[in-house]
Amino acid sequence: MTDLILSGVSKTFGNTRAVEPTDLAFAKGQLTALLGPSGCGKTTLLRMIAGLENPTRGQIKLGDDDITDLPAHKRKFGMVFQSFALFPHYTVRENVAYSLTIGGMAKPTALEKAESLLATVQLNGFGDRRVGELSGGQRQRVAIARALAQEPQVFLLDEPMSALDAKLREDMQVELRLLQQRLGITTIVVTHDQREAMTMADTIVVMSNGRVEQVAPPQEIYHKPANAFVADFIGKANFFDGLYQSGGVMIGSQTLDVPANFAPESPVRLAIRPESACLATEPGQNRIAAVVGFVRDLGPVREYHLTTDIGPIIVEYAAGSEEQKLTAGDKTLVHLPVDALRVYPRAAA
Amino acid sequence: MTVADDLNVAADIPAKAAPGLTRKGALYGVLTALMVVFCVVPFILVIVISFGRKIEGAAWVWDFTFENYQRFFVGTLWPDEVTFLYLQQLGYSFYFAIIASLLAVLTALPFTLLLTRLKRSTQAIWLVFILSSLSMSEVFIVMGWDILLSNNSGLPKLFQVTGMTQWLKDVGWFQTLRDIGLANPRNVKFKPSEFATILTMSYLVWPYAVILLYPALSRLDPSLSEAARTMGASRWTVIRTVTLPSIRLPLMGTTLLLFVFLLGSYVTISVFATPDKQTTAVAIYSNIRGSNLNAPFGSAQAVILLISASICLYFGHLLNSKAEAR
């Protein structure tokens, strides 16, 4: 069941195409993360959904209604801004009650409802405070409560965690996800933090240069990245450029077996996650001689930085799970399992 | 260098620093003296002269009498007869200054809001243009408006030539203009009138209003109004509930500043206000430099005008403090 549908939506500012024609469907009651680096067009896309920017082309539909030209104040999508945009001249309670009072609800009733919303975001007793008296996390909760006050059909969040410190951000990600699941509101979160997207989202939309690169659930995005950009942007990956030859990819003097078919001599890029590669002791398929350059112990994981004929490779183990413990300067073999290798076409140099 | 040499050097330091301190002290002394001579002394002189006495048919003499203040508030014939002529002039000073400053701020506000939404380079061009307009003197501006509103060569003539006057008569609005003093039996006339006075006074301070409002409006976070819009607020509701309250302090500050500036407006009032609506500033001039040559009374009026402005500023400050405390 889909709710919000974007068909061929694009946005151009002067000569710059901020968002390429985009088709997306946001499932009702689900949380979708728009993920990408700065300037990839994700905020512009969110602003078009909110009605704060007019699409240059395309159509936005909510259910059966075309809302492309509907102004923001008539869409009434709840939105949390990066800066939270709380009104400094109102108290916390008045901020939360804003949409209700301007919508014509009697002020006492609106303030009462605001109080219950503050309880929902665990801010009981904060109603009389001024915005300036709140911490970053509290401000974010007020912004969420305020956006939810009008009971929006779609809830939009533009980099909602970027103003918070790392620890608070992690807590708020879980809290926001639980709240969204409890309320069952269609939610779209813009973020450049892949960890945040992986934590909260049912579906991730990865964007780059105004284009949607992949739309999939978090695990699929991680394990089956659609292209080299997604593989690089989501998590860590080892990359190797080579030429496809029947059944394998030639990288320098080495040939690796790969699970893909390309035209002979096609330039390709191989990717493999550090945790999918492993150290080996016996020669075999896709096993390459390597020298340990550096061992990085991060506590829960240990990384081996290897030098090989096909380029540098990082191999990652959960701490203590590796069969052999090596130190810098040790010679070894690195195994790149066929089924863990991803192969992507690459523009010829 | 030995330890003894070090000690000698250390001993020399205060001796070397002393001339520097003296020079600095002398500089501060001269600056303070200049401030006293050019700012405080004239001000004290005005206060002292306001207690002086005018000798009829001659000059004024030093004295300590409250006659001038009494004359201002209740007239010279008090207690037999009470007149409020000078209080009325003070009232007109306030009247013109309040309306003109409000008009200037109300028209400058939307302009400045739009200005802040333009490209930076375009904003800079506009700001330079507005700043340069500040270099024009009041006399020059009033002369321009005097010609623009004059009956023989200005807008009234244009109204007549283009048939606007006849049209106003045909639709029945001409009589309304006559009733409010903006027309004679033949044509529209804009001066002397309150309309011309307020319009020119507003024009005088309008660039100041833009310059004073610009910093606050350019710092206004656009996401505040966008947030309000996503919550169902129309553009007018956004202005009423978000924009105006957010810039309440600069708005009040600007209005107060323009108001105080306009309280002393002289040329505009002399040219455009009707004789029965002259202000305290004009009366001060005619007493000190004009036909009356009654410096003590002129000084008393100046002191009262100054105190009135100070009271207004004080109340403005109180309001600001209360708003900030909220």
CATH at residue B249: 1.10.3720.10
Beta-carbon separation of A99 and B246 below 8 A: no
Confidence of residue B1 (pLDDT cuts 50, 70, 90): very low
Task: Say what the pLDDT of residue B18 is.
Answer: 59
> Do A222 and A285 share a structural domain?
no
Q: What share of chain B is helix, strand, coil (3-state, %, to 5)?
A: 75, 0, 25
Closest among B214, B217, B212 to B246, alpha carbons compared = B217
> Do B133 and B10 share a structural domain?
no
- Give the whole-angstrom CA distance, residue B86 versus residue B89: 5
| Number of A–B residue contacts, CB under 8 Å | 73
Whether B182 and B190 have beta carbons less than 8 Å apart is answered as yes
Task: Say what the pLDDT of residue A57 is.
Answer: 96
At B288-313, the pLDDT tens digits run 876 677 899 999 999 999 999 999 88
Query: Is residue B172 situated within a structural domain?
Result: no
> Do A173 and A79 share a structural domain?
yes
* Residue that terminates a domain, selected from A198, A230, A262: A230
Residue of A nearest to B237 (CA): A102
Residue that wins the pLDDT comparison between B79 and A40 = A40
| CB-based burial label for A268 (10 Å; 0-12, 13-18, 19+) | buried
CA distance A60 to chain B (A): 16
Query: Is residue B283 situated within a structural domain?
Result: yes
CATH at residue A76: 3.40.50.300
Query: Is residue B68 situated within a structural domain?
Result: yes
CATH at residue A287: 2.40.50.140
Segment B72-97 mean pLDDT: 92
Element (H, E) at A139: helix A136-149
> Do B102 and B64 share a structural domain?
no
CA distance B240 to chain A (A): 11
- Give the whole-angstrom CA distance, residue B92 versus residue B86: 10
> Do A85 and A173 share a structural domain?
yes
> Do B276 and B241 share a structural domain?
yes
Query: Is residue B61 situated within a structural domain?
Result: yes
At B20-58, the pLDDT tens digits run 668 888 999 999 999 888 889 999 999 999 999 988 877
> Do B145 and B198 share a structural domain?
yes
Segment B140-144 mean pLDDT: 92
> Do A171 and A268 share a structural domain?
no
> Do A243 and A218 share a structural domain?
no
- Which of B232, B245, B248 is opposite residue A73, by nearest beta carbon? B232
Query: Is residue B264 situated within a structural domain?
Result: yes
Query: Is residue B180 situated within a structural domain?
Result: no
In percent, how much of chain B has pLDDT > 70? 91
Q: What is the pLDDT along chain A (349 residues), one digit of tens a residue?
A: 458 999 999 999 998 999 999 999 999 999 999 999 999 999 999 999 999 999 999 999 998 999 999 999 999 899 999 999 999 999 999 999 999 999 999 999 999 999 999 998 889 899 999 999 999 889 999 999 999 999 999 999 999 888 778 888 888 889 889 989 998 999 999 999 998 999 999 999 999 999 999 999 999 999 999 999 999 999 889 999 999 988 789 998 889 998 878 888 889 999 999 999 999 989 989 999 999 999 999 888 999 999 999 999 999 998 777 777 889 999 999 999 999 999 999 875 4
Beta-carbon separation of A50 and B228 below 8 A: no
Query: Is residue B175 situated within a structural domain?
Result: no
> Do B93 and B64 share a structural domain?
no
Whether pLDDT at B79 is above 50: yes
HSE value, Cβ hemisphere, 13 Å, CA-based, for B271: 24
Measured between beta carbons, the chain A residues lying within 8 angstroms of B223 are: 81-83, 85
Residue of A nearest to B227 (CA): A85
- Give the whole-angstrom CA distance, residue A125 versus residue A128: 7
> Do B283 and B215 share a structural domain?
yes
Look over chain B and give the mean of its residue pLDDT values, rounded to a whole number. Answer: 88
Task: Say what the pLDDT of residue B279 is.
Answer: 95
Residue of B nearest to A53 (CA): B226
Beta-carbon separation of A72 and B230 below 8 A: yes
> Do B100 and B246 share a structural domain?
yes
Whether pLDDT at B10 is above 60: no
> Do A161 and A49 share a structural domain?
yes
Residue that wins the pLDDT comparison between B168 and A3 = B168
Q: What total number of domains does chain B contain? A: 2
Sheet strand arrangement including A238-245: A254-257, A248-251, A238-245, A267-272, A342-345
Query: Is residue B178 situated within a structural domain?
Result: no
Whether the CB of B223 is below 8 Å from some CB of chain A: the reply is: yes
Measured between beta carbons, the chain B residues lying within 8 angstroms of A77 are: 230
* Residue that terminates a domain, selected from A211, A230, A249: A230
Residue A5's contacts (CB-CB under 8 Å, 6 or more residues apart) are: A24, A25, A26, A60, A61, A62
- Residue A338 sits in which domain range? 239-345
Residue of A nearest to B232 (CA): A73
> Do B195 and B70 share a structural domain?
no
CA–CA–CA angle B299, B304, B308 (5° rounding) = 150
Which of A70-84, B14-28, B74-88, B89-103 ranks highest by mean pLDDT? Answer: B89-103
Whether the CB of A160 is below 8 Å from some CB of chain B: the reply is: no
* Residue that terminates a domain, selected from A212, A230, A248: A230
Task: Say what the pLDDT of residue B11 is.
Answer: 47
> Do B136 and B32 share a structural domain?
no
Q: What total number of domains does chain A contain? A: 2
Task: Say what the pLDDT of residue A217 is.
Answer: 96
Q: Retrieve residue A219's tokens.
A: 């695990």
Task: Say what the pLDDT of residue A349 is.
Answer: 46
> Do A279 and A226 share a structural domain?
no
> Do A211 and A71 share a structural domain?
yes
> Do B242 and B205 share a structural domain?
yes
Q: What phi, psi does A290 have (nearest 5°)?
A: -145, 155
Task: Please state the ipTM of this predicted complex.
Answer: 0.84
Task: Say what the pLDDT of residue B19 is.
Answer: 62
> Do B30 and B130 share a structural domain?
no
Residue that wins the pLDDT comparison between B1 and B160 = B160
- Which of B223, B234, B245 is opposite residue A83, by nearest beta carbon? B223
* Residue that terminates a domain, selected from B46, B74, B102: B74
CA distance A105 to chain B (A): 13
Between positions 37 and 96 of A, the ones with CB within 8 A of B are 50-52, 71-79, 81-83, 85, 87-89
